[in-house]
Chains A and B, each alone.
Chain A
């Protein structure tokens, strides 16, 4: 806990404890822990002197923030228009079948989180899947299956 609060403080100090830094601080904390631990939000509220309900509403409003722990591997299926017309829904179906996950859910062992994202701006290589920040282009349901196998093998 001490360590967590120190980490949060370091982020706050970097951006400055002022309202316009809120989103930037939350992004960094969210990135560091892969979600927003409750204690971190309380600390941010205290140090930025902003009501906790405002912090929570921001955390709920923006898509990138998670209030529950997420998997070590983040699989983001792009569902932008170009990816959609080239078959992104089939990729999500595939993950649903293979792992029993709906977008937004995490496997029980915290190995993998499935998310959808509205356009990562790699439309020319559609459909794309981003795994821990790395973009994989022109994915088919079969390629998706082997990608998941690879991730599973790595995290086992």
Chain B
């Protein structure tokens, strides 16, 4: 491939690619995102390729391993273009049939279609499925249809045209102005206006400036950054190159967690390809602008998502944050001006440049513009990645898109914002989701994790979970966080294990406020949030744990007991044989009992019993 040396070259290449693809009649999209991948989608890709090549059809029919489609609950997913016939939960042994009947024959295979749980109807096309129909996908639009490892696919969809536009017709100041007009706010959680950040970095003193991408998505329960970087690395890269042009950077870094090996690989690969095509490196698209970007892996520290800690770790030090009285846009990596944005923030940039800031600002609410990708997981039917306009009510996300709670259980709360966020209770289900409203509700946007909880989730246990996480992840630099959060954790553990006293509650609240005010960095300052928000909405559960020694969700082990229902037990002995502690006693065909002393409440008996004879009290 020859290097692109001018803006016109890019257009010519796009035409060339489209021409080259004219003879492709159908594309078979196989989702290769994390969810589908863990269910074996690579086997599908191989099988499709094998069948097509055996039949000599590879010229006219194309298999496309794509990034995350978003509808992870239905994986592995196969979509046939151009009709967009959507097949769910596809197994490799169906591949030949799909090719013969559906791809060549134009038939629809009924039993692979998605069934609407409310109407029972089978839905043929992707765009008709409620999960997709109620979303507004702009950033995530191409991720599920883009050939992850093919720059030409991205270019054929108009990729890098925003970069060409910025370089050919806009000054760096105009680029910044456009981003300011768009009202884009950082998607990493804090929600700082992106244009303002860029401007400060541009104005900061220093010959060498850095443009950086934060892909250290440590929030447990969130994976949109992973999916974006894996599924459409060029979109993120294009945003970064435009950002580099705007602030005047010559060098950049993508900081990715090592836990995301495929994201690391795809980012490295995208950089190489972009360099080959002259879209990155020296004299980009024949202009004076040059930029080099490296990929660095993180090593498993949550705190490295904090800008100052991230930069410290890049310098080969331990990932400790520092006070932010001097901003990283002035003194960041190696004390040079550094502009760090989240993956999703960067992915928004090409859209803003292509369509204009005003277009972007027309989506969303007054102070939160554009869309947000949420990862909708936990006790919900349609788990997956969901992109909606800011201000979309929680109800739309959970009931319409998410399809409600499985097993006929009741929705209890949704946890947003990860360990820095909080729980939003059922009674606030009509809350429009944006930066401000979530904050008012005692939670926060965070990177966009939404963990749905039903009645069988204990809120005290959830608080304990996050405190345990934060105890492990505290870097230990400041005392409020290192010691304070640990004490909070001990108090909550006491409550979960039946040792709680009313004094525990008072102390817990005191600690929350003290840590909020005195911790050094964002991690510590927001550490009390999971406790404060659960105390605010579920105080009765804390009180039940403390006063009555009861866990209404039946989660906290010392407060519950496993019991065999005498009427339902058939004495089959399955539970007795599987119980790892030999805590179940009984003879065949007679009712069994559980020895409470030996029982460790692991739940294997409940999972094993076919007669639903074991319950928790």
Contacts of A90 in B (CB 8 A): 602-603
Which residues of A lie under 8 Å from residue B299 when comparing CB positions?
23, 26-27, 62-65
Q: Which B460-478 residues have a C-beta within 8 angstroms of A?
A: 462, 465-466, 469, 472-473, 475
Docked complex: B210-245 residues within 8 A CB-CB of A: 217-223, 226-227
Known pairs A86-B379, A123-B375. 10 more at Cβ < 8 A? A23-B316, A48-B316, A62-B301, A80-B221, A84-B220, A85-B457, A87-B603, A120-B34, A125-B38, A142-B607
When C-beta atoms are compared, the residue in chain A nearest to B34 turns out to be: A122
One of B113-121, B180-188, B253-261, B588-596 contacting the partner:
B253-261
- Residues B451 and A82 in contact, CB atoms below 8 Å apart: yes
Q: Which residues of B contact A48 (CB under 8 A)?
A: 316
Instruction: Jot down 5 A-B pairs with beta carbons below 8 A, ordered by A.
Output: A23-B316, A54-B316, A85-B462, A135-B34, A135-B38
Complex CA gap A85/B452 in Å reads 9
Compute how far the CA of A61 lies from the CA of B580 in the bound complex, rounded to whole angstroms.
36
* Interface residue ranges of B255-306 to A (CB < 8 Å): 258-261, 296-302
**Among A5-13, A67-75, A92-100, A105-113, which stretch is in contact with chain B?**
A92-100
For B384, the chain A residues whose CB sits under 8 A away are 124
CA distance A97 to B222 in the complex (A): 30
B373 to chain A, nearest CB (A): 13
B residues near A54, Cβ cutoff 8 Å: 316-317
Complex contact A23–B296 (CB within 8 A): yes
| Beta-carbon contact of A97 and B580 below 8 Å | yes
Q: Are A80 and B607 in contact (CB under 8 A)?
A: no
With an 8 A cutoff between CB atoms, is A137 at the interface?
A: yes
User: Which one of B39, B375, B379 has the highest number of Cβ atoms from chain A below 10 Å of its Cβ?
Assistant: B39
Q: Are B319 and A61 in contact (CB under 8 A)?
A: yes
**Would you call B378 and A62 a contact (CB within 8 A)?**
no
Does A118 interact with chain B (Cβ within 8 Å)? yes
Point out the residues of chain A lying under 8 angstroms from B200, CB to CB.
Answer: none
Q: A126 in the interface, Cβ–Cβ < 8 Å?
A: yes
CB pair B608 A122 closer than 8 Å? no
Q: How far is the CA of A136 from the CA of B317 in the complex (A)?
A: 34
A50 contacts chain B at the CB level, 8 A cutoff: yes
List, in ascending order, chain A residues with CB within 8 A of B375's CB. 123-124
Nearest chain A CB to B83's CB is how many angstroms away?
26
| Given A97-B581, A136-B38; A123-B469 close (CB under 8 Å) | no
CB interface residues, B 561-608, toward A, < 8 Å:
578, 580-581, 600, 602-604, 607-608
Q: Which residues of A contact B34 (CB under 8 A)?
A: 120-122, 124, 135
| Smallest CB separation, A101 vs chain B (Å) | 14
Residues of A within 8 A of B37 (CB): 135
Q: How many of A's residues come within 8 Å of B, CB to CB?
A: 50
A residues apposed to B, CB below 8 Å = 19-24, 26-27, 48, 50, 54, 57-58, 61-65, 79-87, 90, 93-94, 97-98, 117-126, 128, 133, 135-137, 140-142
Confirm or deny: B453 has a beta carbon within 8 angstroms of a beta carbon on chain A.
yes
Q: How far is the CA of A117 from the CA of B313 in the complex (A)?
A: 20
Please name all residues of chain A whose beta carbon is closer than 8 Å to the beta carbon of B604 when the two chains form the complex.
94, 141-142
Contact among A57, A81, A119 with B415 in the assembled complex (CB-CB below 8 Å): A81
- A94 CB to nearest B CB, Å: 7
Question: Chain B: how many interface residues by the 8 Å CB criterion?
Answer: 63
CB atoms of B449 and A81 under 8 A apart: yes
Q: If A81-B449, A140-B607 touch, does A121 touch B226 (CB 8 Å cutoff)?
A: yes
Number of A-B contacts (CB under 8 A): 162
Q: How far is the CB of B308 from chain A (nearest CB, A)?
A: 15
> With A and B bound together, what is the CA distance between A50 and B217 in angstroms?
29
- Contact with B38, one of A62, A86, A122, A141 (Cβ below 8 angstroms): A122
Give chain A residues whose Cβ lies under 8 Å from the Cβ of B73: 124
Question: Which residue of chain B lies nearest to A141 when distances are taken between CB atoms in the complex?
Answer: B604
Interface centre among B221, B226, B298, B383 (most CB of A within 10 A): B221
Given A20-B314, A118-B218: A142 touches B608 (CB 8 Å cut-off): yes
Inter-chain CA distance A124–B69, complex, in Å, is 12
Indicate whether A80 sits within 8 Å of B35 (C-beta atoms), given known contacts A58-B316, A126-B377. no
Closest to B384 in A: A124
CA distance A128 to B473 in the complex (A): 21
- B72 beta carbon closer than 8 Å to chain A: yes
With A22-B316, A81-B378, A135-B34 given, is the CB distance from A121 to B296 under 8 Å?
no
4 closest Cβ pairs, A-B complex:
A124-B72, A80-B220, A63-B300, A22-B316
A-facing residues in B363-416 (Cβ within 8 Å): 375, 377-379, 383-384, 415
The distance from the CB of B380 to the nearest CB of chain A, in whole angstroms, is 10
When the two chains form their complex, are residues A58 and B378 in contact, meaning their CB atoms are under 8 A apart?
A: no
Question: A121 to B315, Cβ gap below 8 A?
Answer: no
Q: Is the CB of B217 within 8 A of A121?
A: yes
Contact among A22, A85, A133 for B378, CB-based, below 8 A: A85
Q: Whose C-beta in chain B lies nearest to the C-beta of A121?
A: B223
Residue from A21, A86, A133 in contact with B316 in the complex, judged by beta carbons closer than 8 Å:
A21
Residues 311 to 352 of chain B near chain A (Cβ within 8 Å):
313-319
A141 and B577 alpha carbons, distance in the complex (Å): 15
Which of A128, A136, A141 has a CB less than 8 Å from the CB of B607? A141
In the assembled complex, the CB of A37 is this many whole angstroms from the nearest CB of chain B, namely 17
Question: Nearest A residue to B320 by beta-carbon distance?
Answer: A61
Contact A124 B383, beta carbon cutoff 8 Å = yes
* Interface residue B418 (Cβ < 8 Å from any Cβ of A): yes
| Residues of B with C-beta under 8 A to A137 | 35, 38-39
